[in-house]
Amino acid sequence: MNTEIRNLEPKALWNKFADLNAVPRPSKKEERVIAFMKVFGKNLGLETMEDEVGNVIIRKPATKGMEDRKVVVLQSHLDMVHQKNGDTNFNFDTQGIEMVVDGDWVRAKGTTLGADNGLGVATIMAILESNEIQHPAIEALFTIDEETGMTGAKGLKGGLLKGDILLNLDTEEDDEIGVGCAGGVDVTATGTYAETDAPQNAPTFTIQVKGLNGGHSGMDIIKGLGNANKLMNRLLFATKDFMQLAKLEGGSLRNAIPRESVANVVVSSEEKFLAAFDKMKMDILSEYKSLEPNLSITAKKSDETFTKVMNIDAQKIFLNAMNAAHNGVYRMSPDIEDLVETSNNIAKVSVENGSIKIECLTRSSVESSKDVLANALTSVFELAGYKAKLAGDYPGWAPNMDSPILKVLDSLYEKMNGAKANVAACHAGLECGILGQNYPEMDMISFGPTIKGAHSPDERASISSAQKYWEFVLEILKNIPKK
């Protein structure tokens, strides 16, 4: 398991990753990893501090001969997405990640791996610990809560950092140099509904959607993957005349495309319900047979009993609202080929005991387009009689194609690999846009090793890519421009 990981090359990187992954670090619960990083810095005899929101900053002087170079901020986030398979017994609050080697990939056993952004953190740790790597003066910035609100980046005050250049190590394709990203906003609808007595002696069915790929709600949204909440709503809408909803739970995290949804319904006509269900099931399976080969849709009679169900009128309003709420790509960029400009992920849906909650994450690289989609969702939910709230708004990062550090990385990549890097913006939230608000003069760039399936239990990191990336990092540090 983790011993096998420690023998991978480059050992400096993988050993620090194994150390980090032994520390529980789900978003919003970073206390242990903050303490871990502070002990790490202080044990190296380096200036180490925690700011008022929980970000950790460690400073290391330049190596001999590099004192005249610009100060570099190496930045990654400490938290990780906590997703697991339904049949995996794992507690993210208390357990370290269990890793395995699978060919050229490092994976976790039934959970997210934490390579996003743990490999970036481990890279910085290895550089801080080394007595051999050439580098300019370094400010290591480890932010918190990137995955569920970017509150660490938002809370970092201006003036704390003195660096001229920021290297964000949170891009997930090793041939890509990131120069821009999308902003985002959380759209949450809450409401109540009238309940009525469940029909006596009527059977209860449990409808389950599972086996979807899931994935990153920004980077993977372009793939058109199945969203468990939208698929469940199609099944409920198709059978609405023959059942009443008692309970519904779908999805788990705003920034992950939902993989599973479970609904409990009380059925008035078993035969008609199953006929309508089976027809819609076959339609969905046919539509997604190439994209979602492991998709499973079932309706099974249950022994569970419910005394209350959703009122028919309230059910109609809820299902119509879910039908109308946009999910997926909303607009492609007219300026950058194959870049999603604006999208929405209907991430979590909960219906129980007279209460409804629908949680979305809307992303866009264009602020006005983000507002348009957020307002459209708000309109749908308010027309349904629900309260809609916008929160956690963060800006995108506008590309600067004249960036001096971009020119350094672009030239080095081609020299080392014999091919041009893909200089691109991405449809994910990077912290550069937020950090740039308080540090507008800082020259920023993003890059990283190849990571697939981020935000899902299929997350995996390429071993060969990590070697390529590590060599790139070391060469970049050697070539930081003079002050």
Query: Would you state the pLDDT for residue 43?
Result: 98
Helix or strand (DSSP H, E) at 60: strand 56-60
Which residues fall within 8 angstroms of residue 309, CB to CB, at 6 or more apart? 195, 196, 197, 198, 244, 245, 246, 265, 266
Amino acid found at 244: Q
CA-based end-to-end distance of the chain = 45
Annotated catalytic residue 197: no
Query: Would you state the pLDDT for residue 96?
Result: 96
Annotated catalytic residue 146: yes
CATH class of 2-182+396-478: alpha beta
Q: Distance of CA 44 to CAs 29, 51, 370, Å?
A: 25, 19, 44
Long-range contacts of 22-26 (CB under 8 A, 24+ apart): 22/96, 22/97, 23/96, 24/92, 24/93, 24/94, 24/95, 24/96, 25/78, 25/79, 25/80, 25/114, 26/79, 26/80, 26/81, 26/82, 26/92, 26/93
Q: Are 200 and 480 spatial neighbours (Cβ–Cβ below 8 Å)?
A: no
The percent of residues above 90 in pLDDT, for the chain, comes to 94
Helices (H) and strands (E) in the chain, counts: 12, 23
The segment(s) of the chain belonging to CATH 3.30.70.360 are: 185-394
The whole-model pTM stands at: 0.80
Query: Would you state the pLDDT for residue 3?
Result: 83
In angstroms, the CA 405 to CA 320 distance is 50
The segment(s) of the chain belonging to CATH 3.40.630.10 are: 2-182+396-478
Amino acid found at 188: T
Which residues fall within 8 angstroms of residue 367, CB to CB, at 6 or more apart? 183, 395, 396
In angstroms, the CA 79 to CA 94 distance is 14
- Catalytic hit among 116, 139, 145, 146: 146
Query: Would you state the pLDDT for residue 336?
Result: 84
Query: Would you state the pLDDT for residue 429?
Result: 85
Dihedral angle over CA of 213, 217, 223, 224, nearest 10: 80
Q: Which residues of the chain have pLDDT under 70?
A: 1
**Which CATH code is given to the segment(s) 185-394?**
3.30.70.360
- Catalytic hit among 79, 292, 359, 459: 79
Query: Would you state the pLDDT for residue 337?
Result: 86
Query: Would you state the pLDDT for residue 318?
Result: 98
Q: 124-165 pLDDT, tens per residue?
A: 999 999 999 999 999 999 999 999 889 999 999 999 999 999
User: Quick count: other Cβ atoms within 10 Å of Cβ 252?
Assistant: 18
Q: Residue 437: what are its φ and ψ, rounded to 5°?
A: -65, -40
Q: What's 379's DSSP letter? A: H
In angstroms, the CA 340 to CA 360 distance is 17
Rg, Å, the chain Cα set: 24
Q: Are 459 and 449 spatial neighbours (Cβ–Cβ below 8 Å)?
A: no
